[in-house]
Structure 1
Amino acid sequence: MLETTTHELMYKQDLQLTVAIKIAVLDTGFAYTNSEDKRALRPYYQRIKKFANFIEGGSDAEARTDPTGHGTAVAVQVLRVSLKAVLYICRVVSPGSGPDKSAVEKAIRKAAAKPDKGNPDGGGWGVDIINMSFGWPYHHEGVRQAINFARQNGVHLFAATSNDGLLGPPNDILYPARSESVIAVDAADGHGEHAKSAPSSTSQHSRGSRFSAPGLGITSPNRKDIWEGSSFACPIVAGVAALILEFVRQSPLNKSASVQNYVQEMPAMLALLRSMSSEKGPDGLKFLTPWKLIGIWFGGG
């Protein structure tokens, strides 16, 4: 439904965007070194604006590698949903280890800061959206402050909840997904049924800002692996948020400063995502069905 209906409505006429939606993907990197990856991923690679490695002692060239394939699969999901978005690939996870919290903090700040030609390093990238398909059990103060900085700059942040079901850590929704300033994403199947690996539906963490999207049977063009989990649902929701921003950046809405300021606010984004969600089951979990609202926007519903 996403590609056949949402894309048909959104892209039936060429979008006139003066500035593309910028999305930072914080993950393991993006595979683009060998000939096989280049053949499979070229259409996606052409929409990547920057590769950066935020792990201490690493080089930016390492962000063009992805031994696990996780970051590549995540990036591909974003680009499949939003056909006009551009990506900033941030390596914050090394093979065989979890996310480097210091690297995550630095990546968020670089992505969210505004460009500054007077700054020797050019300032930040001024992204609109940050995707974080990872998490850890407990709060981290440096990352919290970076998230607050991003929100002050109008950046929307999305993070995966957990893949441990009811067997996870005491805080069943991982950090940063359970931050009040981050939109949390669960995995579901293609019919909106909550995945067995998803955390408790009764969790109070992120209850008001928690959505689900397909996260089972996910593929990436450069590998035969089948991916599953909230890591791959998260970029789909981030991509839908990009579709919302694409819509409001078209004429005549792009001429309204109040509209542009409004969609940068988290309550506004949450309200829009809720309006394009369907609740399934007694818990009222919100499964994204964006074609419903987008159809109304374009007179198709």
Structure 2
Amino acid sequence: MRAEEMWEVSTGEGVKVAVIDSGVNDSTDALQGQVLPGEDMTGAAGGVTDDYAGHGTNMAELIAGTGKNGSVRGLAPGAKIIPYRISAEDEDDRFGDVSYGEAVRAAADSDAKIISMSFGSPYHDPVGAEAVEYALSKGKLLFASVGNDAKGKNRPEYPASYPGVVGVGATDEQGEVTGFSQHGVNVDLSAPGSEMPGWCDEDFQKYCVRDGGTSAATAIASASAALIWAKNPDWTANQVLRVLVDTAGRKDGKDGASSVYIGYGAVRPRIHLLEGKGDPGDPGRNPIEATEPTLPPKASSSEGESDGKNDRNGAGGTDEDRKDQGETAAAASEDDGSLWIYLGAGAAAAIVVAGASVLVRRTIRRT
């Protein structure tokens, strides 16, 4: 990633990222001054800055942590976070009357350019689907985790499976797709998601190296978009996404094709920021959809949207395919392509996803 060099060009300043999660603790060293007013959708005790799970705070720090007093420095430390708290109270594995769609719609009406969603549900949610379409019509760029394949199910997750949402898979320290990152289920891009620093628990007393998950990969993809958008503030969400796709790392060299394991490749914002590569193209055309534009630059339209993304990304594949398609930026450039999150003043920790699978109200799982 060569983060320190990228930060000389862009830190994400001026870009606001909506984090829909378990809330964001704005009093950690990393997030002091980084968190703007958000909204609590839970009705639970406390408010949007009361994070009883710690997951949302970890995601926010990976995006915009400042590194103050030995804390995590995120990939876009100049960005700001707008938190939206959704509930983690009900673990019933059926969809109920509480939808993340309410948070998506609120984020769509906010000043956030990017909506980061490190959670997923195997069930289609009509309210969530309508909220996603609304957010797209408002020119937002949406990222969501594709899920952790702990039991080999590889089933579609929502909202990652909705047209226009960027489904994010996870890579490991060697730049290969992780064993837990779901494949064949709407993976559009990938990002580091293994061995990440994060809070050990909800008490926020010390950092640990966390187990892997696609949650952190989603946060890193969101931060990568913030870096590019800050440098090009007049671009649309489509143009930012197209540059992420154009500059993504794929060792198999299949440019323009989507892998069932890694999507269009692993995000590498440095290719644009430091080398000037990546064509933003048509501001009204979504680069990950095979149909007509889903994100007109100034008007709302759902015409031409596909019914889903399974047909685009395919399914299946062997373990050897996983290795061939999963290896990322390393062979495509002169450096090793690895990403580092900075812990403290100059002490680096390899990036990894923070987040065990915690159910968020009625089948919504943090990944």
Smaller-chain TM-score bracket: 0.7 to 0.9
**1:52 — aligned with what?**
39
SS in 2 for 1:213: strand
Gaps of 5+ in 2: 65-73, 278-333, 335-367
- Equivalence map 1:139-178=2 (5 Å): 139-164=124-149, 167-168=152-153, 172-178=155-161
**2:248 — aligned with what?**
277
**1:109 — aligned with what?**
105
- Provide the C-alpha distance between the structure 1 equivalents of 2:126 and 2:189, rounded to a whole number of angstroms: 25
Confirm or deny: 8 A CA contact 2:191 2:267 kept in the other structure: yes
Structure with bigger helix share is 1
- Provide the C-alpha distance between the structure 1 equivalents of 2:161 and 2:53, rounded to a whole number of angstroms: 26
Question: For residues 141 and 271 of structure 1, do their structure 2 counterparts lie closer, same or farther at Cα, with a shift above 3 Å needed?
Answer: same
Question: For residues 138 and 190 of structure 1, do their structure 2 counterparts lie closer, same or farther at Cα, with a shift above 3 Å needed?
Answer: same
Corresponding position: 1:88 with 2:82: yes
Gaps of 5+ in 1: 33-37, 114-124, 250-259
Which among 206, 211, 215 is matched to residue 186 of structure 2? 206
SS in 1 for 2:57: helix
- Provide the C-alpha distance between the structure 2 equivalents of 1:162 and 1:185, rounded to a whole number of angstroms: 9
Amino acid at match of 1:164: D
Corresponding position: 1:4 with 2:4: yes
Residue deviations 1:125-158 (CA, integer Å, cap 9, x gap): 2321111100011211110000000000000110
Confirm or deny: 8 A CA contact 1:25 1:75 kept in the other structure: yes
- Provide the C-alpha distance between the structure 2 equivalents of 1:225 and 1:100, rounded to a whole number of angstroms: 34
- Provide the C-alpha distance between the structure 1 equivalents of 2:37 and 2:156, rounded to a whole number of angstroms: 30
Question: For residues 263 and 165 of structure 1, do their structure 2 counterparts lie closer, same or farther at Cα, with a shift above 3 Å needed?
Answer: farther
**1:291 — aligned with what?**
270
* Runs of 4+, deviation exceeding 4 Å: 98-101, 281-284
- Provide the C-alpha distance between the structure 2 equivalents of 1:54 and 1:245, rounded to a whole number of angstroms: 28
- Matched residues, percent identical? 25
Question: For residues 213 and 2 of structure 1, do their structure 2 counterparts lie closer, same or farther at Cα, with a shift above 3 Å needed?
Answer: farther
- Provide the C-alpha distance between the structure 1 equivalents of 2:19 and 2:48, rounded to a whole number of angstroms: 11
Q: CA RMSD in A?
A: 2.6
Residue deviations 1:79-132 (CA, integer Å, cap 9, x gap): 11112211111111325648987341111111111xxxxxxxxxxx23211111
Which among 19, 27, 45 is matched to residue 21 of structure 2? 27
Confirm or deny: 8 A CA contact 2:120 2:160 kept in the other structure: yes
Q: Greater RCO between the two (CA within 8 Å, min separation 6)?
A: 2
SS in 2 for 1:142: helix
Confirm or deny: 8 A CA contact 1:24 1:130 kept in the other structure: yes
Corresponding position: 1:42 with 2:29: yes
Which among 215, 221, 225 is matched to residue 193 of structure 2? 215
Offset at 1:2? 4.1
Residue deviations 1:222-248 (CA, integer Å, cap 9, x gap): 443333210011010001111111011
Residue deviations 1:12-39 (CA, integer Å, cap 9, x gap): xxx9x6xx2111100011235xxxxx4x
Question: For residues 213 and 101 of structure 1, do their structure 2 counterparts lie closer, same or farther at Cα, with a shift above 3 Å needed?
Answer: farther
Which stretch has the larger CA shift, 220-229 or 155-164?
220-229
**2:163 — aligned with what?**
180
Confirm or deny: 8 A CA contact 1:67 1:95 kept in the other structure: no
Question: For residues 71 and 2 of structure 1, do their structure 2 counterparts lie closer, same or farther at Cα, with a shift above 3 Å needed?
Answer: farther
Amino acid at match of 1:291: R
Confirm or deny: 8 A CA contact 1:193 1:280 kept in the other structure: no
Corresponding position: 1:76 with 2:61: yes
Amino acid at match of 2:105: R
Question: For residues 226 and 145 of structure 1, do their structure 2 counterparts lie closer, same or farther at Cα, with a shift above 3 Å needed?
Answer: same
Offset at 1:53? 1.0
Q: How many residues align?
A: 253
**1:257 — aligned with what?**
none
- Provide the C-alpha distance between the structure 1 equivalents of 2:179 and 2:195, rounded to a whole number of angstroms: 14
